[in-house]
Amino acid sequence: MEAPGRSDLLRKLKALGQEELEGFKDKLSEVLLEEGSKPIPVTPADPAALTDLLLRHCRGDSKVVQKVLEDVETRLRKVSPTASSHPQEERKPSTCTKAGDSGPKSHFAGSGDEIPPGEGGTLASAIAFMKRHLSFTGSKAEEAGKQSRKEDPTGDNWETDKCKLCPREEDPPEEINPEIIRGPDGSQETYRVHLPGAGSFCCSETELGFEVRAAVTIQYGYSFWDQHLSVWSTPKWMIAGPLFSIQAEPAGAVAAVHLPHFLCLRGADNSWMQIAHFIEEGMTLEKPIQVRPFHAVLENPSFSLYGVVWGNRSKPPILIHSIVLLYWALKMAKTTLHLYIIPNDHSRLKAVDDYEKKCPSRLVPTSLQTHKPLTFDSRYMVSSQSNIEVTPKELEFCNIQAECLQSYVEIYTEDIQGGLEFSLVEKINKEPIWEAHVRPEDATLSVSSAQTQTDEHFVSRHREQLIQRVMAVDGILDSLCGPVLNLEQIQSIRAERSSVSKMRKLYKLVSKWDDDCKDRFYQALKEKHRLLVEELEGI
């Protein structure tokens, strides 16, 4: 995910005229020089470069960004005392209503402002907008993002730098949180977004992107490659990303689709990349109009099934953006870990996480990204000075489709008190590609958190106690807004007069939630009622 507010800062700087952009660059350079940074290169001011420079200097901390913007604003006032007075009135945002919500939402939740796409703006109003927007993203949004990435591997804690070899994609789209449509058994089936107008958007759950000409509703989900493409019967092509089933209404509103892939293309011949399109007559291959570091772009799609493939005859073998997942098996003897190496593919990551939650297991908070891209069919071993047992002794990095069980190694130890340090090394040259340090508290967090050794979840097991004793219901609802509850549900709960009545109404929804939603509820309870949660966990 991007640093807080990056796409909004970039969009606002792009709305400035070149003269005002140069003025912003000059004053920003003065501020950063005083704070010990290197001079900004003497080149024409570039919005993307200035945005990245600002966030890099501030290490993505929105409070520091605000302070720098205030310093820039102060210097501009000294040059022109009227520069910051009477800034032009910002236009009100267009609205986007999520299915199930009762009212409109701003694109910039809590900001109340929208950047007029394609229009100019004064430098003073640009800075005013950025400061106001960051006052939101720097508090609620930033903390919520940190928490969700800890608990949910699909929230990717590798931030914007997925690969040290590949450049960042230019002109990042606006990130959107889709509505998740679940089947009758609670399993996830599809995603849905309602896009209010022209623009570029990227789904936070799948990394699927869209360029749209007008308002449109898009429904999409993962599909199974093996139902449509037999790898053994088509050895010329290698699966290089998720397969998506996509529908749009109206279909003509979508100008382009950005399909995610997991290939490291540095030094590669992009002509080997194709987009597989499955229709009733069979499979056709379409040439992407653009190949980006993490996406392939197809213009004017006629929606059905789409996914990225790569020619298997390319030499040398293509490199793969890869991640390592480490899970703590809660019901296994002593301390048992499951370690996976998979391509950086959200469909496979989600498949692993869904499987491990059923075990039940919990994700151990470690770095995900490998030190470098890997190649399929390479083999790796776990190396450690700790007293551990590893089964099997080696793990092959394979292109296993998301619908199939992914391979893993089991790491077992009888004693976790001193912590575990281990690394994943290449079998032949023993070069480490990933390291981890698992601490005793990681075990405590996994075993005594939301779902313990029993099958019943914490929030279900302690239902009556929580209904009677939880007082900060409104704060908990704020934490659940978006990923778990929609606006209409929250307003309905808040209409109740007492905290007990609110909790009883909330629990009518809890009974329909899966473990992921219950985990988020548990985390909100820990934040608002830590002592109560600790007391109940001791029962």
Of 268, 287, 311, the residue at which a domain comes to its end is: 311
Same domain, 190 and 293: yes
Residue 284 three-state SS? strand
Rounded Cα distance, 201 and 20, in Å: 27
SS (H, E, C) 47-89: HHHHHHHHHHHCCCCHHHHHHHHHHHHHHHHHHCCCCCCCCCC
Report the DSSP pairing between strands 216-223 and 209-212: unpaired
Q: What's the pLDDT at 34?
A: 72
Of 277, 311, 345, the residue at which a domain comes to its end is: 311
Read off the pTM. 0.58
Residue 209: which residues within 8 A CB-CB, separation 6 or more? Answer: 173, 200, 201, 202, 203, 257, 258, 260, 295
Mean pLDDT score of the chain: 78
Same domain, 88 and 55: yes
**Structure tokens belonging to residue 30:** 């003065």
Whichever domain contains 493, its CATH number is 1.10.533.10
**Is 144 within a domain?**
yes
Same domain, 295 and 185: yes
Same domain, 65 and 197: no
Rounded Cα distance, 89 and 113, in Å: 10
Whichever domain contains 223, its CATH number is 2.60.220
**Is 164 within a domain?**
no
In the numeric block, the tokens 């807004």 are attached to 481
Question: pLDDT-derived band of residue 302, with 50, 70 and 90 as boundaries?
Answer: confident
What are the pLDDT digits (tens) for 462-477? 888 898 888 889 889 9
Counted domains in the chain: 4
Same domain, 333 and 372: yes
Identity of the amino acid at 387: N
Q: What's the pLDDT at 359?
A: 82
By residue range, what is the domain housing residue 292? 174-311
Over residues 237-257, the mean pLDDT reads 94
Residue 189 three-state SS? strand
Rounded Cα distance, 467 and 464, in Å: 5
Of 311, 343, 358, the residue at which a domain comes to its end is: 311
**Is 158 within a domain?**
no
Same domain, 128 and 54: yes
**Structure tokens belonging to residue 57:** 């200097």
**Is 370 within a domain?**
yes
Same domain, 332 and 307: no
Cis omega (within 30 of 0) on the bond before 250?
yes
- Cβ neighbours around 19 below 10 Å, total: 9
What are the pLDDT digits (tens) for 67-87? 788 888 777 776 655 444 333
Rounded Cα distance, 498 and 273, in Å: 59
Same domain, 337 and 411: yes
Residue 269 three-state SS? coil
In the numeric block, the tokens 């997925």 are attached to 162
**Is 159 within a domain?**
no
Residue 211 has pLDDT above 90, yes or no: yes
**Structure tokens belonging to residue 115:** 């950047």
Same domain, 306 and 328: no
Same domain, 145 and 46: yes
**Is 1 within a domain?**
no
**Is 523 within a domain?**
yes
Rounded Cα distance, 186 and 521, in Å: 17
Q: Which residue has the higher pLDDT, 241 or 226?
A: 241
Residue 360: which residues within 8 A CB-CB, separation 6 or more? Answer: 330, 331, 451, 455, 515
Over residues 398-416, the mean pLDDT reads 88
Same domain, 254 and 306: yes
Residue 111 has pLDDT above 60, yes or no: no
Same domain, 435 and 477: no
Residue 104 has pLDDT above 80, yes or no: no
**Is 316 within a domain?**
no
SS (H, E, C) 324-378: EEEEEECCCCCEEEEEEEEECCHHHHHHHHHHHHHCCEEECCCCCECCCCECCCC
**Structure tokens belonging to residue 484:** 């778990």
What angle, rounded to 10 degrees, do the helices at 487-494 and 499-510 form? 150
Residue 323 three-state SS? strand
Q: How far is Cα of residue 302 from the mean position of the Cα atoms in its chain?
A: 27
